Amino acid sequence: GLGTSDERVAGYQAALQAAGLVFDPQLLVNGGSSSEPARQATAQLLALATPPTAIMAGNNLMTLGAMHALRDANIDVPGQMALVGFDDFDWADFFVPRLTLIAQPVQELGARAVNLLIERMASPKRKTHSVRLAPTLKIRNSCGCP
């Protein structure tokens, strides 16, 4: 998978361990990075003998797919299922319930990328390096948080 996807899974597993919970591989499904595969993956989770009580979607399209599947199944968000997405988008506040999302600093990411490209053009043999920017959790209504 992608490095960031692998890191998210590792973070999920570490958080479970820190909370004293056991990792269940059935609860980790691939939503395909778009709406329809995410809808199908969510339906797969809902069909489990013991479905989850929370879903974390990997991007905004997957969040929409998960929300669609939950509505199809008449699952109340956040009453019966907490939903958190990754990637904030301007219209997240217009959903009912308002979507809890992890927002990446996209403008800063873009500015950093341009600066790195300019530096690379000036010094093509310059050593590559990774840049990490901290995301922000935007707690709204879909997580059921107070």
What's the domain range around 36?
Answer: 3-105
pLDDT for the residue 42: 97
Q: How many domains does the chain have?
A: 1
Task: Please report, for the chain, how many H helices and E strands are present, in that order.
Answer: 4, 4
User: What secondary structure does DSSP assign to 91-117, as a single string?
Assistant: GGGGSSSPPEEEEP-HHHHHHHHHHHH
In a domain, 99, yes or no: yes
In a domain, 113, yes or no: no
Average of per-residue pLDDT across 33-45:
95
CATH number at residue 89: 3.40.50.2300
pLDDT for the residue 132: 86
Q: Decide: residue 142, CB within 10 A, 0-12 exposed, 13-18 middle, 19+ buried.
A: buried
pTM summary value? 0.84
pLDDT digits (tens, 9 = 90+) for 103-141: 989 899 899 999 999 999 999 988 887 888 899 999 999
- Considering all CA atoms of the chain, what is the largest pairwise distance in Å, rounded to the nearest integer? 58
Does residue 88 surpass a pLDDT of 70? yes
Backbone angles phi, psi at 55, to 5 degrees: -130, 135
pLDDT digits (tens, 9 = 90+) for 52-62: 999 999 889 99
72 contact partners, CB below 8 Å, separation of at least 6: 39, 43
In a domain, 123, yes or no: no
Question: Which helix (H) or strand (E) is 55 found in, with range?
Answer: strand 54-56
In degrees, to the nearest 5, what angle opens at C-alpha 137 toward C-alphas 132 and 142?
A: 145
